[in-house]
Amino acid sequence: MNLPLINRRSGNGKATSASPAAGGLVTLDDHDEQSRKAQWSADKWLIAGALLLGTNAAGIFGLPLFLFGLKKLRDATKAGLSVRPIMVTLIGYLVMVDAGLNLQGWILDLVGNHTLIYRVLYTAWGNVFDAGYFWHYNQLWIGGASAPGEKAWEVALVLVVFPMRIAAAIAFLQMKRWGYQWLIVTCWFGVVIWVGYTMNMTVFADVRYDGVVFPVIGWWIYDIMYITPFLAIPYLHTVNREIFSD
């Protein structure tokens, strides 16, 4: 079902209802066109921002771009245009950034584990937060992290979950029903990841935390920012799904 989104938006609707009186008739097509333009104008900033956010080190330069795009979207919403809700925008982009950052670290550990930058900065990260990325590093036949079970998580998540999550997030941002459905599916994958991964770390806590600079609590403070699925799931199960069209 492809419901028209006109008048099913935030804002009080005064802006659109005032327009015809002020400047003549506004047709549904005009409104549609204006909304589409406003959406794309905001998305250009949001996409540029999100690409930088996903790079780690250059993320700080992406944040102003992203926030500016968010502001443009909010202004368009307030002006009564039919644009994507802020929550959908935030969840979609956060899922992409979260998945992108995870992919970056894990793909490098899988195939770039002998690069100098990885052997310095990422094993240093391991030494500070999680010695799974320091202990016997590059001793396993496949290279990279040697912590028990870690490679299995990496392969499963890099090859299956995170690409699926990024695809779902893109379709979700396009307000497609399959994007919404697959975001629910992959957010529940995210819950499985969190429970399985933290349990693995707990069982092999000596390997992960002995001799580490900021063990356990440090890891939690650092990694709690990846808790995206737990914030997205309550929204996804309570939002009116009819706003996502087939």
Residue 120 in contact with residue 69, Cβ under 8 Å?
no
Q: Which is closer to another protein, CB of 24 or CB of 211?
A: 211
Q: Which is closer to another protein, CB of 25 or CB of 162?
A: 162
Residue 153 in contact with residue 200, Cβ under 8 Å?
yes
Alpha helix stretches (DSSP H) within the chain: 14-23, 28-53, 59-78, 86-111, 116-117, 123-128, 150-156, 162-173, 177-203, 205-209, 217-223, 228-236
> By three-state DSSP, how is residue 176 classified?
strand
Q: Is the dihedral of CA 187, 189, 190, 192 positive or negative?
A: positive
The answer to whether 164 contacts another protein (rule: CB under 8 A) is no
The answer to whether 27 contacts another protein (rule: CB under 8 A) is no
The answer to whether 119 contacts another protein (rule: CB under 8 A) is yes
Buried b (16+ CB within 10 A) or exposed e, 198-223: eebbeebeebbbeebeebeeebeeee
Window 78-97: residues binding another protein (CB under 8 A): 85-88, 90-91, 93-94, 97
Which residue among 178, 194, 197, 235 contacts another protein (CB under 8 A)?
235
Q: How far is the CB of 183 from another protein (least distance, A)?
A: 13
Q: How far is the CB of 103 from another protein (least distance, A)?
A: 13
The answer to whether 191 contacts another protein (rule: CB under 8 A) is no
Stretch that binds another protein, among 1-9, 22-30, 35-43, 153-161 (CB under 8 A): 1-9
Binding mask 44-63 for another protein (x = CB under 8 A): ---------x-xxxxxx-xx
Closest CA to 201 of 158, 150, 144: 150
Window 130-149: residues binding another protein (CB under 8 A): 131, 134-143
Stretch that binds another protein, among 17-25, 39-47, 193-201, 202-210 (CB under 8 A): 202-210
Stretch that binds another protein, among 27-35, 38-46, 118-126, 154-162 (CB under 8 A): 118-126
CA distance 174 to 84: 8
Q: Name residues whose C-beta falls within 8 Å of residue 210's C-beta, 6 or more positions apart in sequence.
A: 131
Q: Which is closer to another protein, CB of 25 or CB of 238?
A: 238
The answer to whether 174 contacts another protein (rule: CB under 8 A) is no
Q: Which is closer to another protein, CB of 24 or CB of 113?
A: 113
Which residue among 68, 125, 178, 194 contacts another protein (CB under 8 A)?
125
Distances in Å between the alpha carbon of 116 and those of 42, 108, 124, 201, 227?
Answer: 39, 11, 12, 26, 30
Burial of 240 (0-12, 13-18, 19+ CB in 10 A): exposed
Which residue among 68, 149, 204, 245 contacts another protein (CB under 8 A)?
204
